[in-house]
């Protein structure tokens, strides 16, 4: 019997993860873990927040305001256990465009309106619909943003002096940079290139060290000692204040609201996608489950509060969130402490930031752009299927040459059309069964299998589930929720794919997340009845041995799961078992190699 998910009450759906963590019992060792993780994330966030702010066309202190106010509120009220909020590289293009059109006051108002939109969407429980964005669209617009960010940093990396204001569009920007190449500053290049190299080297040889902060610090000290003629935060912006500004509302009028509303809608949509994607990444790394609508409510409140203190768009940041998880954070307290540590940096060390070369911050964003490109996922989607490749490349090109919003909408539309076309091609006309079946005895069911098949009967340690229907991006979220609801006490899992006619990248990514989660607990997963096309898609997405084992039918998969559980019990001394189970397990491995 298929399990049904119970709709949570309003209080359950919007209870912050901080409350959940405190209810579980928060101990001193948990606090110590959160302090260490929060400090680690703050060290990463210091150069990133300033670099993103400068690339967005505002002063570096506004990046710190965004990380402090927004980061604290996102962790305090959010629905993700490990989410880190702050300024994100994905917003650089949108923020810079908004500043160019409406000024800083227009940016603050657009951010506030975006927060109201996100808050409303979350309270109406519409956050689930954001999960319907196809995986190729997400990778396409992320890769497009990375290209735009890197192009925007060429001026700082090379120390160029442009004849006029730097254009926002990619082609005019590259043409202006090309015309300014004779003004290249050798000192700036001498700072930017070694900074990139140092970041890469530290990440390779000492991956747990704060590569970006250390590299920026070395660049600042070297430029100061040698006296290199490069532009710094102090020379361009006059330094960073040592206190937070008093809260103040931006200028609000009906005419101004109408002007910035398109930007606010873009902020809200992109921020929601980025935040929920970051929360999903944290879930896959930690095995936890976030509350989408609660997370959107927290993002909305953070974006309402951030502009009151001079900050701009707040969203979940994937890189800093992943750093938080890898640093051993226990819960949202780590994110709140990260904001506190950033505030302490402003109070104590803000004058030192004046010596940071802008070429070094450009190097930081160049590395960020390289990491954002999702190169492996991009190449995988190109190989996966023609339809995924079309959606991916269309989104990527539209984002680069038209804009983020256009890219997301066009990619989503093409993805939906191609999926409907694929579903139409799957329709087959066959000899239908009679509307009323003949009466049958109790001994056999409709599948020709005994009604009480001992091998397929429920086993306390083996969970058997069947996925029926087209497994595409629209169903991926529901299937993922159902798989997460199976429970963690089983020793093996069997998933029957015999009734799945087609699967796309989002569905395969959902299965990948599930099998990686069970693999960490040492529970094998068996996939039964998958067609060659479905098996190929799963293999391309990393659903392969040792994370999963394929079997031709359900009975064979269940038998293999039972044998594996028996073998594992014998290996751990939990029960006496004959050598048959061990021989079966060895034969199973040989058969798995042949199948794969």
Query: Using an 8 Å Cβ cutoff, are 412 and 134 in contact?
Result: yes
User: Average model confidence (pLDDT) for the chain?
Assistant: 84
**pLDDT greater at residue 24 or residue 591:** 24
Residue 6 has pLDDT above 90, yes or no: no
pLDDT of 567 > 70? The answer is: yes
**pLDDT, tens digit, 9 for 90 and up, residues 282-340:** 887 887 888 889 999 999 999 999 999 999 999 998 888 888 988 889 999 999 999 99
Segment among 33-42, 202-211, 457-466 with least mean pLDDT: 457-466
* Strand, helix or coil for residue 434: coil
Rounded distance, CA 6 to CA 2, Å? 13
- Predicted pLDDT at 451: 41
CA dist 214 and 218 (Å) reads 6
DSSP letters for 471-540:
B-HHHHHHHHHHHHTT-S--SEEEEEEEE---B-HHHHHHHHHHHHHHHHTT--EEEES--HHHHHHHHH
pLDDT in tens, 335-389: 999 999 999 998 888 888 889 999 999 998 899 889 888 888 899 999 888 888 9
Q: Report the percent of the chain where pLDDT is more than 70.
A: 88
Question: How is residue 433 annotated by DSSP?
Answer: P
Banded pLDDT at 544 (limits 50, 70, 90): confident
What's the pLDDT tens digit per position in 60-71?
Answer: 999 999 999 999
Phi, then psi, of 528 in degrees rounded to 5: -110, 145
d(CA 192, CA 360): 5
CA 423 to chain centre: 28
Cβ neighbours of residue 420 closer than 8 Å, sequence gap 6 or more:
none
pLDDT of residue 219: 93
Task: Name the token pair of 404.
Answer: 């983020």
What is the fold of 462-595?
A: Transcription Regulator spoIIAA (3.30.750)
Predicted TM-score (pTM) of the model is 0.73
Say yes or no to pLDDT of 575 above 70. Answer: no
In the chain, residues under CATH classification 3.30.750.24 are 462-595
Higher pLDDT, 438 or 395: 395
- pLDDT value of residue 4: 47
Rounded to whole angstroms, the Cα distance separating 585 from 275 reads: 43
Radius of gyration of the chain (CA): 27
Tell me how crowded residue 208 is: count the other CB atoms within 10 A of its CB: 11
350, two tokens: 């803000």
Determine the pLDDT at residue 590.
53
pLDDT score at 449 = 46
d(CA 592, CA 51): 50
- Reported as a single tens digit per residue, the pLDDT across 81-119 is 999 999 988 888 889 989 989 999 999 999 999 999 999
- Could you read off the pLDDT of 421-462 as tens digits, one per residue? 776 555 433 333 333 444 545 544 444 444 444 445 556 778
Confidence at residue 429, expressed as pLDDT on a 0 to 100 scale? 36
pLDDT at 502 over 70: yes
Q: Is the peptide bond before 546 cis (omega within 30 degrees of 0)?
A: yes
Confidence of residue 190 (pLDDT cuts 50, 70, 90): very high
Q: What is the pLDDT of residue 489?
A: 76
- Whether the predicted pLDDT of 580 surpasses 60: no
The answer to whether the beta carbons of residues 147 and 378 sit under 8 Å apart is no
Q: Which two tokens stand for residue 132?
A: 């319907």
């Amino acid at each position: 019997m298929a399990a049904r998910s119970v709709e949570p009450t309003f209080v359950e759906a919007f209870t912050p993860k901080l409350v959940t963590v405190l209810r579980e019992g928060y101990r001193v060792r948990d606090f110590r873990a959160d302090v260490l993780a929060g400090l680690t994330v703050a060290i990463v966030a210091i150069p990133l927040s300033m670099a993103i702010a400068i690339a967005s066309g505002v002063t570096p202190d506004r990046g710190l305001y965004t990380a402090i106010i927004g980061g604290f509120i996102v962790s305090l009220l959010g629905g993700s256990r490990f989410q880190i909020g702050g300024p994100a590289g994905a917003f650089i293009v949108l923020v810079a465009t908004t500043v160019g059109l409406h000024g800083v006051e227009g940016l603050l108002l657009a951010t506030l309106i975006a927060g109201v939109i996100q808050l409303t969407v979350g309270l109406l429980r519409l956050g689930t619909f954001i999960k319907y964005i196809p995986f190729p669209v997400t990778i396409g617009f992320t890769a497009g943003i990375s290209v735009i960010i890197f192009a925007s940093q060429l001026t700082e990396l090379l120390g160029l002096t442009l004849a006029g204001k730097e254009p926002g569009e990619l082609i005019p920007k590259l043409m202006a940079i090309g015309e300014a190449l004779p003004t290249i500053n050798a000192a700036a290049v001498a700072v930017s290139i070694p900074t990139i190299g140092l970041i890469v080297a530290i990440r390779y040889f000492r991956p747990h060290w704060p590569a970006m902060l250390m590299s920026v610090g070395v660049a600042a000290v070297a430029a100061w000692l040698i006296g290199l003629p490069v532009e710094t935060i102090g020379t361009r912006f006059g330094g960073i204040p040592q206190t937070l500004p008093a809260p103040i509302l931006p200028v609000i009028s009906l005419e101004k609201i109408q002007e910035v509303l398109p930007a606010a809608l873009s902020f809200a949509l992109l921020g929601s996608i980025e935040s929920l994607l970051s929360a999903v990444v944290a879930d896959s790394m930690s095995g936890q489950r976030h509350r989408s609508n609660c997370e959107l409510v927290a993002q909305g409140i953070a974006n309402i509060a951030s502009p009151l203190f001079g900050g701009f768009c707040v969203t979940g940041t994937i890189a800093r969130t992943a750093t938080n998880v890898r640093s051993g954070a226990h819960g949202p307290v780590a994110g709140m402490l990260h904001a506190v540590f950033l505030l302490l940096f402003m109070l104590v060390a803000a004058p030192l930031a004046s010596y940071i070369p802008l070429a070094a911050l450009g190097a930081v964003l160049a590395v960020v752009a390289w990491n954002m490109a999702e190169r492996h996922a991009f190449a995988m989607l190109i190989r996966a299927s023609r339809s995924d490749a079309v959606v991916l490349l269309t989104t990527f090109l539209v984002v680069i040459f038209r804009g983020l919003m256009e890219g997301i909408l066009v990619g989503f539309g093409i993805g939906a059309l191609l999926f409907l076309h694929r579903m139409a091609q799957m329709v087959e006309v066959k000899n239908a069964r009679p509307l009323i079946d003949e009466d049958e005895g109790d001994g056999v069911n409709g599948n020709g299998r005994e009604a009480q098949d001992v091998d397929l009967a429920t086993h306390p340690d083996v969970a058997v589930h069947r996925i029926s229907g087209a497994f595409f991006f629209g169903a991926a979220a529901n299937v993922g929720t159902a798989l997460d609801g199976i429970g963690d006490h089983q020793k093996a899992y069997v998933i029957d794919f015999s009734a799945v006619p087609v699967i796309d990248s989002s569905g395969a990514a959902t299965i990948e997340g599930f099998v990686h989660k069970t693999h960490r607990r040492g529970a094998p997963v068996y996939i039964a009845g998958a067609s060659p096309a479905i098996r190929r898609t799963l293999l391309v997405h990393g659903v392969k041995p040792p994370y999963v084992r394929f079997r031709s039918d359900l009975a064979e998969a269940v038998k293999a799961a039972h044998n594996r559980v028996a073998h594992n019990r014998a290996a751990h001394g939990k029960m006496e078992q004959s050598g048959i189970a061990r021989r079966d397990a060895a034969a199973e491995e040989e058969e798995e190699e042949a199948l794969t």
